[in-house]
Chains A and B, each alone.
Chain A
Amino acid sequence: MFLKDYCKEVLGAVQSLLTGMKRTGYYFTHHKEIITQQYPDNKDTLVLPERFRGEVIMPHNEMNEHRCTGCTACELACPNGTIKVITKFDITPEGKKKKAVDKLVYHLEMCTLCNLCVSSCPSDAIKMEQTFEHSVYDRKLLTKVLNKPGSKIMEGIE
């Protein structure tokens, strides 16, 4: 009886190993199942989803106008002090003072890409861009001013 059980155990063990080897052999001969992507060779065909969070940008239209009012909602929403809004006062044609954004400084090196600034913006002035290769040789390059030089606020944004 003991010998019978022993042989059964050994045969079962060999069978279990062979089942696993069969599965491995299947993938060895079926190359279509390979799903590895060859980055960066596939850079031209790489499509990232539109919601992918790479970095914060401020879209400008062709007149070099943005939608930022300088309300600092993004600065308050940011958990780690990534955004700093420097405001100035514009003089409107009626002669009144109006708050406007001078510089929206964005520190990519501190950003955790949590999307809280984008979702808190009341005028949809900032959004997430799909870029992801951020490495540079100098960390100063990661501190960015999001509004382009000479840009101004679009008509009708309050």
Chain B
Amino acid sequence: MLEEIRTTEQDDLVINVGPQHPSTHGVLHLVITLNGETIKKVEPHLGYVHRSIEKMCESLTYRQFILTTSRMDYLSAHINNHCCVLCVEKGLQLDVPPRAQVIRILMDELTRIASHVLWWGAFAMDLGAITPFFHAFREREVINDIMEETCGTRLTMNYMMPGGVMYDLHPNFQKRVHEFIKLFKSKLPEYHELVTNNVIFQERTKGVGMLSYEDAISYGCSGPAARGSGVSSDIRKLYPYEIYNQLQFEECLEYGCDSFARYQVRMNEMMQSLSIVEQLIDNIPEGDIQAKTKAVIKLPKGEFYSRVESARGEFGVYIVSEGGTTPYRIKFRSPGFSNLSALDQMARGQKIGDLVAMMGSLDLVIPDIDR
């Protein structure tokens, strides 16, 4: 990977993109070494939104630490929370009631759609199209309203609890989700009309940000960033959790290795998530929403790891327990961090104008990278 020595020569120009830059979607600081217009090197500088969440979790109990993960990848808060409760349940060896499992998957997939829809709008906005952003927010608003009705909040839900979920579904939930499925199916062709088939968009993304199959694996990419290079990395398929192994869905793989391939993976994933929601929404089993847990949760001594497929890739929670009420050490494996590390490989030798297209196609959420 580092065959050529990339030193800064006298004629090279070093510029900073960010930390306050509209296309970085947060406080990402990239130091770019340029030779004319060609990128020689991209160095991400992190730490602007570091809140030491991992250290903070060491003083929180196993019920309390879940809410901090909503503040990491705030666009897929449900999925992050899901991973935490899976890890705690693994330690407690709890059996979650089937109704709670189905509710969790429904929420996960709705979150995934909401996250991808927002990414679609933001990606188009990065490339200079403002209108798609408003179209994206129109559909996302419907999902947010559904979440608000059932979970109580729109973004940082904290709805999952060890053993189940916090509340039962709202009586309107099924009706609202049916309405959303109908709406989204009618609106998705618009997305393709406006952006996917647009010639300017295609010219700007095809062949831009090439990440080969080997590089995607060696940089530890996951999620759509890896699947755009043909790497099979869907945790829902490879290491199924909850009842994903009983559901019918496909892993979306593209072999283009460029920004457009990653775009298509996400567009196809939205349809797959929608089909999962369709399969489950009329088949929610009756029963409890929470398994019985003790008032104070104590994990047995040992190490526990669980992983889920978040909207951006593999999200993992690693807990080391000493048998007490709080974890001895917590490590979060966030998908954005590994995906960002591949940006240097993608951008090398490309033009600076394409950097935003590469960055957008990785779907970076900075608080997730920094934590």
Contact = CB atoms under 8 A, between A and B. Distances in A.
Interface of A: 12-13, 16-17, 19-20, 22-24, 35, 48-49, 51-53, 77-79, 112-116, 119, 128
A19 B63 contact: no
List the 5 shortest-distance A-B pairs measured between CB atoms, nearest first: A79-B64, A13-B199, A51-B152, A49-B149, A114-B67
B76 interface: no
Contacts, number: 65
B170 A51 contact: yes
B199 A51 contact: no
Given A20-B198, A79-B60, A128 B152 contact: yes
Contacts of A79: 60, 64-65, 67-68
A16 B197 contact: yes
Interface in B166-222: 166-167, 170, 190, 193-195, 197-200
B153 A53 contact: yes
Contacts of A24: 131, 194
Given A16-B199, A53-B152, A23 B141 contact: no
Contact of B141 (A35, A51, A53, A116): A35
A19 B197 contact: yes
B138 interface: yes
A116 B64 contact: yes
A84 to B, nearest CB: 16
Nearest to B195: A20
Contacts of B197: 16, 19-20
A130 B151 CA distance: 13
B95 to A, nearest CB: 21
B67 A23 contact: no
Given A19-B197, A51-B151, A114 B158 contact: yes
Nearest to A113: B153
B58 to A, nearest CB: 13
Interface in B102-150: 131, 138, 141, 148-150
Nearest to B137: A35
Interface string B63-81: 1110110000000000000
Nearest to B63: A116
B204 to A, nearest CB: 13
A100 to B, nearest CB: 22
B156 interface: yes
A51 B60 contact: no
